[in-house]
Structure 1
Amino acid sequence: MHTPSKDIFKAYDIRGVVGKTLTAEAAELIGRAIGSEAQVRNVKAIVVGRDGRLSGPELVEALSNGIRAAGIDVIDVGRVATPMLYFAAYKLETLSGVMVTGSHNPPDYNGFKMMLAGETLAGDAIQALRQRIKEKNFSEGEGRYDTYDIAEAYLERITSDIKLSRQMNIVVDCGNGVPGAFAPVLFRRLGCRVRELFCDVDGTFPNHHPDPAKPENLQDVIEALAKTDSEIGLAFDGDGDRLGVVTKDGTIIWPDRQLMLFAADVLERHPGAKVIYDVKSTRLLAPWIREHGGEPVMCRTGHSFIKAAIKETGALVAGEMSGHVFFKERWYGFDDGLYAGARLLEVLSQVDNPSELLNALPNSVSTPELNLKMAKEGDNHELIAKLQETAQFDGADEVITIDGLRVEYPDGFGLARASNTTPVIVLRFEADNKDALERIKGDFRKVLASATDAKLPF
Structure 2
Amino acid sequence: MVSLSKTIFKAYDIRGIIGKTLDAGVARQIGQAFGQAALAKGERTVVIGRDGRLSGPELAAALAQGLQAAGVDVIDLGVVATPMVYFGTHALDARSGIMVTGSHNPPDYNGFKMVLAGEAIHGDAITSLYQRIVDHDGASAATPGSYRTHDIRAAYLERIIGDVKLARPIKIAVDCGNGVAGAFAGDLYRGMGCEVIELFCDVDGNFPNHHPDPAHPENLQDLIRCLRETDAEIGLAFDGDGDRLGVVTKDGQIIYPDRQMMLFAADVLTRHPGQQILFDVKCTRHLAPYIAKSGGQPLMYKTGHSLVKAKLRETGAPLGGEMSGHIFFKDRWYGFDDGLYAGARLLEILTREADPSALLNALPQSDSTPELHLELKEGENVALMDKLRSDAVFPGHEQIITIDGLRVEYADGFGLARSSNTTPVIVMRFEAETPEALARIQAQFKSVILAAKPDAVLPF
TM range, smaller chain:
over 0.9
Q: Which residue of 2 aligns with 1:386?
A: 387
Contact preservation (8 Å) 2:13, 2:113: yes
- Which runs of structure 2 are paired with 1:258-407 in the superposition (5 Å)? 258-375=260-377, 377-407=378-408
Using the alignment, how far apart are the partners of 1:95 and 1:281 within structure 2?
31
Bigger mean CA offset, 135-144 vs 187-196: 135-144
Deviation sequence 1:175-227 (CA, Å, 0-9, x none): 00000000000000000010010000000000000000000000000000000
Q: Which residue of 1 aligns with 2:248?
A: 246
For residues 101 and 305 of structure 1, what CA distance do their matches in structure 2 show? 19
Structure 2 CA distance for aligned equivalents of residues 155 and 27 of structure 1: 30
**Letter of the aligned partner of 2:250 in structure 1?**
K
1:7 and 1:385 map into 2 onto residues whose CA distance is: 22
1:16 Cα offset (Å):
0.4
SS of the aligned residue for 2:374 comes to strand
Work out the CA distance in 1 between the residues paired with 2:271 and 2:59.
44
1:418 is the counterpart of 2:422: no
Post-superposition Cα deviations, 1:112-157, rounded to whole Å, max 9, x if no partner, equal 0011101111000000000111111677241000110000000000
Aligned match of 1:39? 39
Q: Which moved more, 1:416-425 or 1:256-265?
A: 416-425
> What's the counterpart of residue 213 of structure 2?
211
Partner of 1:4: 4
Taking structure 1 as the reference length, what is the TM-score of the superposition?
A: 0.98
Match of 1:444 in 2: 445
Q: CA deviation at 1:268?
A: 1.5
- Determine if contact 1:266/1:316 at 8 Å carries over to the other structure: yes
Describe how 1:142-153 pairs up with structure 2 within 5 A: 142-153=144-155
Matches within 5 A, 1:21-36: 21-36=21-36
The one-character-per-residue Cα deviations of 1:368-412 (angstroms, maximum 9, x if unpaired) are 11011102x221122112211221111111111111111111111
Name the counterpart of 1:135.
135
> C-alpha distance in 2, partners of 1:17/1:229?
41
Tell me which residue corresponds to 1:408.
Answer: 409
Q: Which amino acid aligns with 1:380?
A: N
Q: Structure 1 residues 4, 353: closer, same or farther in 2, change over 3 A?
A: same
Give yes or no for contact 1:3–1:130 (8 Å, CA) kept in 2.
no
Distance 2:309 2:48 in 1: 20
> In 1, are the aligned partners of 2:414 and 2:441 still within 8 Å (CA)?
yes
1:83-232 equivalent positions in 2, closer than 5 A: 83-136=83-136, 140=141, 141-232=143-234
Cα deviation, residue 164, structure 1 = 0.3
Three-state SS of the structure 1 residue aligned to 2:452 is coil
Deviation, structure 1 residue 2:
7.6
3-state SS, counterpart of residue 450 of structure 1:
helix
Answer yes or no: is 1:17 the counterpart of 2:22.
no
Q: Partners in 2 of 1:382 and 1:287 — Cα distance?
A: 34
For 1:281 and 1:225, how far apart are their aligned partners in 2?
26
TM-score, L = length of structure 2: 0.98
The Cα offsets for residues 252-278 of structure 1, whole Å up to 9 and x where unpaired, read as: 000000000000011112210110000
Q: Which amino acid in the other structure matches residue 29 of structure 2?
A: L
Q: Cα deviations across residues 390-444 of structure 1 (Å, max 9, x unaligned)?
A: 2111111111111111111111100001111211110000011111111100110
Measured after TM superposition, the shift of residue 3 of structure 1 is 5.7
Deviations 1:82-128 (A, max 9, x none): 00010011100311100000000000000000111011110000000
1:194 alignment partner AA:
V
Structure 1 residue 300: deviation in Å?
0.4
Tell me the distance in 1 between the aligned counterparts of 2:71 and 2:205.
32
Using the TM superposition, give the Cα deviation of residue 451 of structure 1 relative to its aligned residue in structure 2, in angstroms: 1.4
Q: Distance in 1 between matches of 2:158 and 2:398?
A: 49
Counterpart Cα distance in 2 of 1:206 and 1:250:
23
CA RMSD of aligned residues (A): 1.0
CA contact (8 A) 1:39 1:139 kept: no
Q: Please, which moves more after superposition, 415-424 or 105-114? A: 415-424
Aligned pairs for 1:57-76 within 5 A: 57-76=57-76
SS in 2 for 1:269: coil
Alignment-derived partner of residue 51 in structure 2: 51
Counterparts of 1:382 and 1:9 in 2: how far apart (Å)?
21
Q: CA deviation at 1:454?
A: 2.1
Separation in 1, partners of 2:457, 2:140: 48
Structure 1 segments, 4+ long, off by >3 Å, are none
Equivalent pair of 1:232/1:354 in contact (CA under 8 Å): yes
> Are the equivalent residues in 1 in contact too, given 2:2–2:22 (CA < 8 A)?
no
Q: How many residues align?
A: 457
How many percent of aligned residue pairs carry the same amino acid? 65
Unmatched tracts of structure 1, length 5 or more:
none
Supply the distance in 2 between the matched residues of 1:212 and 1:292 (Cα, whole angstroms): 28
Report if the CA contact (8 A) 2:2-2:23 is conserved.
no
Aligned 8 A contact 1:45 1:94 in 2: yes
Deviations 1:262-307 (A, max 9, x none): 0001111221011000000001111110001000000100000000
- In 2, the alpha carbon distance for the partners of 1:313 and 1:300 equals 14
Letter matched to residue 285 of structure 1:
L
Partner of 2:79: 79
Moved more, 379-388 or 330-339: 379-388
**Alpha-carbon distance between aligned partners in 2 of 1:108 and 1:236, rounded to the nearest angstrom:** 19
**What is the CA distance between 1:33 and its match in structure 2?**
0.6
